[in-house]
């Protein structure tokens, strides 16, 4: 998260927004879970556990749509001939919504 979703102040890395005092803890927790799933997807790919990779890539991308998560989802989807998800990932990578 780069900015507070309530007041658009720059995120300073703390649980409460420094400007409006919105509790950002739940959002930070979601970002951390997304990152953890992303790392698990990479580790699963490295150990050739492609089903596990696909699962974690989907979870990561559903929690937080980053270009890296979208790329990983596209790659995992292609490995399982899920071209619909692969295209969705590409569109997310390029900033197009679908």
Chain-centre distance for alpha carbon 59: 8
Q: Which of left, alpha, beta for 72 (phi over 0: left; psi -120 to 50: alpha)?
A: alpha
* Pick 7 or 43: Cβ nearer Zn ion: 7
**Which residue, 17 or 72, has its beta carbon nearer to Zn ion?**
17
The pair of structure tokens assigned to 32 is 């951390």
Please name the residues in contact with 93: beta carbons below 8 A apart, sequence gap of 6 or more: 67, 70, 71, 74
- Least Å distance between CB 30 and Zn ion? 17
Stretch that binds Zn ion, among 19-27, 33-41, 55-63, 82-90 (CB under 5 A): 19-27
Q: Is 1 one of the binding residues for Zn ion (CB under 5 A)?
A: no
Query: Does 43 interact with Zn ion (rule: CB under 5 A)?
Result: no
Contacts with Zn ion by CB under 5 A lie at 4, 6-7, 9, 17, 19-20, 22
């Amino acid at each position: 998260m780069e900015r507070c979703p309530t007041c658009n102040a720059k995120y300073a890395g703390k649980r409460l927004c420094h400007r409006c005092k919105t509790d950002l803890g739940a959002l930070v927790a979601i970002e951390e879970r997304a990152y953890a799933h992303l790392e698990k997807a990479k580790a699963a790919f490295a150990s050739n556990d492609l089903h596990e990779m696909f699962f974690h890539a989907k979870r990561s991308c559903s929690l937080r749509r980053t270009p890296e998560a979208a790329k990983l989802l596209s790659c995992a989807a292609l490995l399982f001939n899920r071209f619909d998800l692969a295209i969705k990932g590409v569109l997310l990578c390029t900033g197009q919504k679908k």
